[in-house]
Amino acid sequence: MKIVVLDGYTLNPGDISWDGLEQLGDLKVYDRTPEKEVIQRSINAEIILTNKTIIKSEHISQLPKLKYIGVLATGYNVVDIEAANERGIYVCNIPAYSTPSVAQMVFAHLLTITNRVEHYTSENKNGRWSSNIDFCYWDSPLTELSGKRFGVIGLGNIGKAVARIAKAFGMTVCAYTSKSQEQIGANVQKVELNELFRTCDIISLNCPLTPQTKELINKESLKLMKRECIIINTGRGPLVNEKDLADALNEGHISAYGADVLTVEPASDNNPLLKAKNAFITPHIAWASKEARQRLMNICVENVKAFINNQPQNVVNKC
């Protein structure tokens, strides 16, 4: 069984092992694969694994031995699912591997905004505290989370983990979700979207990107929010209209934005959020803790093993 990993570097830059896959077949790992080399590198493969390398219909049609495409992520929009269906090729993803790490990043962003630890550390390295006449100083608002109203949009695995942590901070938690109140439990209040926008001090975007959720945060929804509102996005970049949000930040209509995702990645130089006031952007790393990547690798190996044993799991297409 020939297995080709087209873009293995982000999953494993060298700190975890490919041994599990090597035990299942003849493995070849490429750090990155340009589109023009996808067919050449995959031509004899029965299994290909990809993270962000796009697998198009024209690739699939020219890979006669291909039987399985494994996506090294949860989202699988990098694969032409219809073309895979036509060929009877299984497409499998990696669900729920990053939940603790992504939930942690939500609060890393939130605490960055409310406490500005990095800012004060930097100031102190430059001697500001040493030369201060008082025993302390602050030049940014310091905000206590206890008692705040925290809104979660999307209550899947990550959204539920975020809600639990918010509750532990002493916040009142509400959610916009398709789940019923009985399903989400008494600790989270189910609300309509506009009510969440109007009443919440903090809004966390944890929903999938769909035609209905694209640019959910826009000029109109931003007008409903409190000026003190903080938005955190660890979902998908296109959940927000980036220009509308940047304008709202620069004009002081909302307090701050913390995001691990942008609409175009790597970031475009002209993305308005990169220089917007009180915008804190990290480079899509919420998933990338070593622990989460090891879980991803483990699930990937189990997926391939299940396929080889004719019991495919985590199948996302209608093969």
Q: How far apart are CA 290 and CA 275, in angstroms?
A: 30
Look at the block and give the residue holding tokens 């899509």. Answer: 284
Active-site positions? 236, 265, 284
Number of helical (H) and strand (E) elements in the chain, helices listed first: 12, 12
Cβ(95)–Cβ(72) below 8 Å:
no
- Tokens found for residue 311: 């019991």
Q: Is 263 helix (H, G, I), strand (E, B) or coil?
A: coil
Give the bridge partners for 263, in sequence order. Answer: none
Look at the block and give the residue holding tokens 């830059």. Answer: 13
End-to-end, the C-alpha distance of the chain in Å comes to 20
Cβ(199)–Cβ(192) below 8 Å:
no
Cβ(221)–Cβ(250) below 8 Å:
no
Task: Report which of 36, 31, 26, 35 is spatially closest to residue 8, judged by C-alpha positions.
Answer: 31
Cβ(74)–Cβ(94) below 8 Å:
yes
Q: What are phi and psi of 217, to 5 degrees?
A: -95, 115
